[in-house]
A = this chain, B = another copy of it.
Amino acid sequence: MTAPLHEPHPSRPRLPDTQQGMRRRNLSRVMHTVNAEGPLSRAAVASRIGLTRAAVSTLVDELIRSGLLEELGPERPGRVGRPGSALALSGHGPAGIGAEIGVDHLAVCAVDLRGGIRAQAVRRGTNRGRSPEPVIAELTSLVRQVVAEAGGEGLWPAGLAVAVPGLVARDARTVVRAPNLDWHDTDLGALLPDDLPVTVDNEANFGGLAELWLGEGTPRDFLHVSAEIGIGGAAVVDGRLLRGTRGFAGELGHVPVRPEGPQCACGGRGCLEQYAGEEAVLRAAGLEPGEHRVEFLAERAAAGDEDVRRALQGAGTALGIALTGAVNLLDPETVVLGGALAALAPWLLPSLKAELARRTAGPACAVTVSRLGSQGPLLGAAHSVVRGVLDDPAAVGVRA
């Protein structure tokens, strides 16, 4: 299994425009309509997607047989005409399994087609410097545990998506570089379960997708900026993640902020990460990187620690400079601060917004804060599998 279904790889040929391809796209249209507006009667679905009620009934029957839609029973009486049965996405069919390999933890969850989290498991403990095999073995055992738990509720896994803190190739399985794990050119696809369709992606990408799918009022064009140890970016353009030729797009952390600034591990100088990355901010606050984490900064800033607040103000300024370049290049509707940055927003935003405003003719790009925080990548991973089912329900086999 390669790239997720909802974002066909450019090299994958489109379905020819045949009756069969049309049927598959119409099945998807029914699923998306019920997802966006359900529960809905067959007649309501038909009117929403502009097909006849008979055509929609055939599609709906197939989706019910595959366990993707459920009938909730007759609509409440009192309406004119024969009562229709309301359709909803199934709460007992396929589930998306999301997994996250963090520097300090592993997490797995199962999400049903309705978006409900039905099972989860977390293991704390550093993965820094561990080789991929034992880490993936542990992750796989968490996956088995979550799949078993979800299975107890009648759900079966439609696929597994894994978020990693590093650059992932467009094959959606090879980790090209994950500096904080010290993994290079690692084929995770070969280590992960082979009885499930598996997709591996960068955590910032899944964080951005989570914001697109689950954020409240998130537009279809935005730049998502997140931080755990490094700084990650994900550009969503017209509702699609911008991936780049090699899959490396969105590397905001390595945009030069001050071209003759400190040396960066990427080979550059004065990259954003040298001013707004975890280590840089901890050092600027007079704290020892390694002993403390980015979450700690929020506590200290809230408690009024002036050194921490000054360090975060400096990070906000650097973010504002890098984002000025990014906004000029991408022209997003908003910039969304996510991941650990969401918790630090009160102290980052004033200097960040001031910098953006003073560098922009006309109104500056809006900056908002994600409500998903550090849950974004895990939820984005699980939902990417669910979106794959909505996008091509015919590709999902029927299970008992």
Which of A7-25 touch B at CB < 8 Å? 10, 16-18, 22, 25
The reply to whether the CB of A102 lies closer than 8 angstroms to some CB of chain B is no
The reply to whether the CB of A58 lies closer than 8 angstroms to some CB of chain B is no
Q: Which residues of B contact A257 (CB under 8 A)?
A: 259
Q: Which residues of B contact A333 (CB under 8 A)?
A: 245
A360 contacts B17, C-beta separation under 8 Å: no
Residue of B nearest to A268 (CB): B359
Flag the segment in A121-129, A324-332, A387-395 that touches B: A324-332
The reply to whether the CB of A4 lies closer than 8 angstroms to some CB of chain B is no
Classify chain A: how many residues form its interface, as a range: 35 or more
B328 contacts A251, C-beta separation under 8 Å: yes
Q: Which residues of B contact A207 (CB under 8 A)?
A: none
Question: What is the minimal beta-carbon distance from A172 to any residue of chain B, in angstroms?
Answer: 15
B329 contacts A251, C-beta separation under 8 Å: yes
Flag the segment in A87-95, A107-115, A235-243, A346-354 that touches B: A235-243
The docked-state distance in angstroms from the alpha carbon of A10 to that of B239 is 9
B221 contacts A245, C-beta separation under 8 Å: yes
CB-contact partner of A360 in B243, B247, B266, under 8 A: B266
A220 contacts B328, C-beta separation under 8 Å: no
Question: What is the minimal beta-carbon distance from A176 to any residue of chain B, in angstroms?
Answer: 8
Question: What is the minimal beta-carbon distance from A310 to any residue of chain B, in angstroms?
Answer: 18
Q: Which residues of B contact A220 (CB under 8 A)?
A: 10
The reply to whether the CB of A50 lies closer than 8 angstroms to some CB of chain B is yes
CB-contact partner of A332 in B245, B265, B331, B358, under 8 A: B245
Question: What is the minimal beta-carbon distance from A317 to any residue of chain B, in angstroms?
Answer: 9
CB-contact partner of A17 in B26, B239, B255, B266, under 8 A: B26
Can you list 5 contacts pairing A with B, beta carbon distance less than 8 Å?
A: A244-B332, A249-B330, A255-B325, A256-B325, A266-B359
Known: A268-B324, A325-B329. 20 other contacts (CB 8 A): A16-B49, A18-B50, A221-B244, A235-B329, A237-B237, A237-B242, A245-B331, A249-B329, A251-B331, A252-B329, A253-B328, A254-B328, A255-B329, A256-B324, A257-B259, A258-B259, A265-B361, A266-B361, A267-B358, A267-B361
Listed in ascending order, the chain A residues whose CB lies under 8 Å from chain B are 10, 16-18, 22, 25-26, 29, 49-51, 177, 219-221, 233, 235, 237-239, 242-259, 265-269, 321-322, 324-326, 328-333, 358-361
